[in-house]
Structure 1
Amino acid sequence: MSSTAFTAIPPCAPQSRSSGTLFSVTNPTSSTYPTYTCYAYTWVATGSSATLSFFFRHDPGGWMLDDVNVYHGLTQLITNGGFEAGTLSGWTYSGSCTFYTGMAYSGSSYAKSGSYYYYDRCSSNGDTISQTFSTVAGDTYVVSFWLTNYGCCSLTEIANVTIS
C-alpha cells in the first residue's frame, strides 16, 4: 500500500525560506493600492510550534492585510486569517503606537475577500500581530497572505513578516 501526501496550493507561486524572515520592506517606492499583492512561502519547521508575526509601521498611511493562511498538508493552522470575526480573535496584539493601533476593519470594497481585513496605521513605533500554532519538526508548511500599502510612499513605512 502506498500513501500520497496532499499539500494546499497557495494563491501565488511560493518562495522557499530557510530563515525566519519571510518578507521585509522599508520605505517602498511604489504601491499596488487598492490591489493587494500575494506573497507565499514554503518553510520547514524546526520545532514543535511556530509563531507567525506581522510587524507594521506607517507614517502617515497604513498597511492592509488579508487572507493569512498557513497550511500543513491540507490542514489550515491559522485562526481568523481573513479577520472575518471582525476582531483580532486568534491573534496576539503588541506594540506602541502614537496614533491608530492596527485592528480588523469592515469594508468589503477594501478587503481582499470577505467583509473584513486588518488595517494598520500605527505610527512612530510600530505594532505586531502574531499567532502561534503547533508544528512537526522537519515538515514543510505553506504560508501565504495578501498585502497592500495605503498612502505610499512616505518617509517611514515598514512591514516585516517573520516565522519563528
Structure 2
Amino acid sequence: MLDVGDDAPDVTAPMATPEAAATTDRGSYTSDDVAEFSLATALADGPVVLAFYPGVFSRTCTKELCQLRDWKADLSALDAPVYGVSADTPWSLLAFVDEYDIAYPLVSGFNNSVIADFGVRRESGLMAGIADRAVFVVAPDGTVTYTWRATEPLTFPDTDEVEGAVAAAAE
C-alpha cells in the first residue's frame, strides 16, 4: 500500500458518473455512458480523495458509499472531489449510482491496474482481485498526504481526519 509521502501513480480508468447514470435507463448502458478517469486531470483542480472498496451492492460497501455520499454533501464548501474505486465494471457502477443517488463518480478497476497501483488489491483467496477498503488523499502535486486501510469489516475512515488531510493538501 502506498504511504504518506509517496507519489501517486498516474492512473487512468473507466468511470461511472452521476450525470451518465441519470440520463440513461438502467440496463441500457453502453460504452458511450462511460467516462475516463485520469488522476492527473483530476489533480489539476486541487486535492483528490480516492475511496477504495471491495464491490458495489454488498452490505458493507453500500453502507460505506452512502456514508461517503452524505459526508460529501456536508463538504460542499471544500473543493475536493471524491472518487470511489472498485473492481466492478463501469455498468454495474452506473446502476449503483442510479440506485443509491450517489453524487460522486465511481472508478472501475475492472481489467486495469488502478487497484494494484495503489497497493490495495487482494492477491489471494476467494476474493482475489478486489480492492481492500482504503482511502487516500492525493495533493495537487501527486503526493499521497493521507492513507487509511480497514483492518476489520464495517470500519470506516474518520471523515474529520480525511477533511483535515484535504485542507492541508490544498495549502
Shared fold (TM-score, shorter chain, > 0.5) = no
Identify the structure with the greater helix proportion. 2
TM-score range, shorter chain: under 0.3
Name the larger-Rg structure: 1
Higher-RCO chain (CA-CA 8 Å, sequence separation at least 6): 1
Identify the structure with the greater strand proportion. 1
